[in-house]
């Protein structure tokens, strides 16, 4: 009997690890198994980490209604193209002119595009998010089935990133979707595209604008930015709207000849044989039509939204105009 009690006591002490699994995170045990197998993490450390994770209903509510899904273009634009954001962009450019010039020379991305992305993403670092990254990614990985595989992958990347960069796993804060730093990189993008642009031995896109500038420029170059090429041009349509062209998506896939056949006029498009994408934006008095080139598509790789890319493009133009006054 004594030996039986000793055995039961030992078993009880062996169980707490499983009991500590956060009950708010379904399938957490399977996820931990995967991370341990793939990356060699310590199981007990992960159990302890996820025991401290807080599921946030506000995150689930936020991802269900992003601004670009519910606002027409003329309202969406007004969020980002404002005097304050233009002025902030000019100030950021002046304070980081040398770094922006270096990034433009090295990667081919104009300074105003880099500045505008920082302006749209975080208002030049003024709003980098208020959710712990571990909470955001865990909430979406385990409690948002429509995109659970994506966020579980990003959660794995975050765990590996914190190990690579020797960062805290609990302290970093970001957006409701887990985007981080001045340029709002997801963990996989951080690992793949962030650069140590000031050569101090660390990729810091949280508080170092030099690394943030270089990382954004590198991201755009890797995603197809063409040095010296324009971004978008207005289109003029005659007759019915060619819906088949509008439905082709953001990637440039339509020849200029096909556009001419469909009665799409391109009054200020530079000569060339590159393919284009036709898209529309809703203004107060109806639709306006644009032709996007490869550089427009490159911006949409940062955020897969034509409205996002156009906000960046138009804010960039306003910033450059104000900067050169």
Residues with a known catalytic role? 121
Report the DSSP beta bridge partners of residue 232.
292
325 SS3 class: coil
Cα–Cα nearest to 216, from 285, 298, 305: 298
List of long-range contacts for 140-149, beta carbons under 8 Å, 24+ apart = 140/59, 140/60, 140/63, 140/177, 140/178, 141/25, 141/31, 142/24, 142/25, 142/26, 142/27, 142/28, 142/31, 142/55, 143/24, 143/25, 143/26, 143/55, 143/60, 144/60, 144/63, 147/63
């Amino acid at each position: 009997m004594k030996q039986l009690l000793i055995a039961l006591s030992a078993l009880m002490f062996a169980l707490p690890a499983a009991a500590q699994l956060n009950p708010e995170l379904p399938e957490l045990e399977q996820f931990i198994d995967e991370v341990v197998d793939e990356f060699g993490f310590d199981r007990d450390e992960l159990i302890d980490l996820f025991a401290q994770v807080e599921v946030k209903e506000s995150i689930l509510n936020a991802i269900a209604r992003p601004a670009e899904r519910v606002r027409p273009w003329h309202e969406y634009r007004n969020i980002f193209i404002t005097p304050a954001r233009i002025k902030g962009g000019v100030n950021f450019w002046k304070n980081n002119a040398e770094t922006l010039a270096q990034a433009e020379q090295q990667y081919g991305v104009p300074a105003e595009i880099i500045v505008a992305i920082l302006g749209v993403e975080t208002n030049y670092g003024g709003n980098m998010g208020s959710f712990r990254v571990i909470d955001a990614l865990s909430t979406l990985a385990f409690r948002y089935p429509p995109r659970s595989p994506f966020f579980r992958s990003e959660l794995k990347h975050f765990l590996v990133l914190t190990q690579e960069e020797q960062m805290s796993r609990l302290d970093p804060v970001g957006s409701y979707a887990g985007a981080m730093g001045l340029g709002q990189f997801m963990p996989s993008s951080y690992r793949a595209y962030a650069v140590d642009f000031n050569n101090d031995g660390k990729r810091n896109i949280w508080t170092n604008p030099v690394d943030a500038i270089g990382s954004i420029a590198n991201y755009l170059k890797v995603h197809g930015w063409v040095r010296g090429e324009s971004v978008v041009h207005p289109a003029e349509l005659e007759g019915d709207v060619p819906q088949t062209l509008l439905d082709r998506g953001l990637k440039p896939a339509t020849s200029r000849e096909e556009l001419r056949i469909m009665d799409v006029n391109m009054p200020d498009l530079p000569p060339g044989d590159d393919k284009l994408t036709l898209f529309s934006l809703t203004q107060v008095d109806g639709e306006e039509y644009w032709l996007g080139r490869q550089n427009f598509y490159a911006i949409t790789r940062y955020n897969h939204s034509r409205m996002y890319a156009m906000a960046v493009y138009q804010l960039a133009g306003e910033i450059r105009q104000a900067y050169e006054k």
